[in-house]
Amino acid sequence: MSITKQPSVISLLARLKRGEISALEVANAYISQVDAHEPQIQAFAWFDAEYVREQAKQLDSYRLRGLPMGPLHGIPVALKDIIDTKAIPTENGTALDSGRVPKKDAAIVEMLRSAGAIIFAKTRTTELAFLTPCETQNPYDATRTPGGSSSGSAAAVAAGMVPIAIGTQTGGSVIRPASFCGVHALKPTFGLISRRGVLLQSPTLDTLGVFAHDLGDLALVLDVLAGYDEQDSATQMAPSPQALKTCQEPAPVTPNFALVEPPGYEKASEEMRAALEELGEVLGEQVFSTTLPKAFDEGIHARETINFAEMAKCYYPYTKRGRDSLSPTLLGAIEKGEEARARDYIAALDWRNILNAGLDELFERCDALIVPSATGEAPAKDSTGDPILNGIWTLCGTPVINLPVFTSSNGLPMGISLVGPAGGDARLLRTARWLEEYLTEQQASEEVA
């Protein structure tokens, strides 16, 4: 299919507020995109066009009556199908939850509704948000994977069927699909967004993330969703990140970057490595190359120990009522978790602080790290791709942004990740915007020359 540039959410909101378009017109525009592309992409686990239209009509009624408009008034948002939605199926990518309809909305669904967003669809995910591929296809090439486990969320945004989608990341399930599908994505600081009402796989690692076509849109949604929730112990009482305001401000000084080879970099394709080297040349004095401390190699194993041990605990109800219905890949991970020693698990929990201490020294010298978002272009759809380059940042709990800046020789997207210090989400978005604008200017200069 042909991928076309989509309007930003911020531009749509401006038109909605001026009354130039209605929420129903916005909804119908995206419904027509679903009609055109969903039969091929298969991004949605649940979609009801009339339900979408009814929400839009209600929002238009609010505006015509002069009632306050929320920060996402009339904007369609799709949700990964492990996020509970009241009266709407949430089946977690497994036959064991077929027909499951929650009685309550997840915390972020409550926030989205309060902000005036339209709950547009539930997006397909891999089995219980792990590695077994689902039906969703990559919008750029039907023979390739869209990535996982937030497969449908990334593909739906890339195909223009929805402007915003929410996913989750425990290893690399937001950043990797964004890279393969050529969209912007943010995995925020761990604990910045409540996970109440979201399927838990690994409470120490699980992080909600956002897919969009524009950095400002990521920032806007982060402002809506960030906040303390007494029912999620990972969240903390803190002021609003003011991500959109910061993202739109000019950088006070020219940012500096560190070009880093993370654990697993040897698996990156030659094309990805060459692209990163070229990026380094373009940035010149604004970037330096460095290596991570040896401890980061150990961190890969620590993340896996935490993930699998907590998965064995969280998914115990599934193994108890339907072990034979689970895939060999998922069962293998659960069994590793069941065999994990308590001392190894407890020791693994220390690695977040150990690794962040090493990162603190790096962030004294730069504003952001530049690393590959995936090993290369999207592989064949019999896998979701290798998460080796993503998991370490999930363990650290640092914010990560995917920028879709590279194209492979096959015409497929390849992304880079910008990694910032924990809690520095707003500044990272501003730094990403500077980099994106700088690269656009450099490309324009080359074309003129």
Q: Note the pLDDT tens digit of each residue in 367-396.
A: 999 999 999 999 999 999 999 999 999 999
Of the candidates 170, 276, 204, 223, the residue with the CA atom closest to the CA atom of residue 10: 223
- Per DSSP, helices labelled H in 46-195 are 49-64, 107-114, 151-158, 175-181
pLDDT bin (cut points 50, 70, 90) of residue 2 is low
d(CA 237, CA 239) in angstroms, rounded, equals 7
**Predicted confidence (pLDDT) per residue in 140-163, tens digit:** 999 999 999 999 999 999 999 999
Residues acting as catalytic residues: 80, 149, 173
Of the candidates 351, 316, 94, 78, the residue with the CA atom closest to the CA atom of residue 204: 351
pLDDT at 204 over 60: yes
pLDDT the model gives residue 5: 76
Cα dist. 297→90, 176, 355 in Å? Answer: 37, 20, 10
* Section 403-411 average pLDDT: 97
* Residue 420, both tokens: 């910032």
* Residue 307, both tokens: 């993930």
pLDDT the model gives residue 446: 77
pLDDT at 445 over 90: no
pLDDT bin (cut points 50, 70, 90) of residue 51 is very high
DSSP summary character for residue 411:
S
**Predicted confidence (pLDDT) per residue in 218-239, tens digit:** 999 999 999 999 999 999 999 9
**Predicted confidence (pLDDT) per residue in 182-196, tens digit:** 999 999 999 999 999
**pTM, two decimal places:** 0.98
* Section 441-446 average pLDDT: 85
pLDDT the model gives residue 444: 83
Q: Are 146 and 156 in contact (CB under 8 A)?
A: no
* Helices and strands in the chain: count of H runs, count of E runs: 16, 11
pLDDT the model gives residue 6: 87
d(CA 181, CA 295) in angstroms, rounded, equals 32
Task: Tell me the pLDDT of the chain averaged across its residues.
Answer: 97
Pair type for strands 118-123 and 184-187: unpaired
pLDDT the model gives residue 3: 64
pLDDT at 4 over 70: no
Query: Within 13 Å of residue 264, how many CA atoms lie on the same side as its CB?
Result: 18
Of the candidates 133, 164, 174, the residue with the CA atom closest to the CA atom of residue 42: 133
* Section 297-305 average pLDDT: 97
Instruction: Please count the other Cβ atoms lying within 10 Å of the Cβ belonging to residue 222.
Output: 26
d(CA 213, CA 184) in angstroms, rounded, equals 6
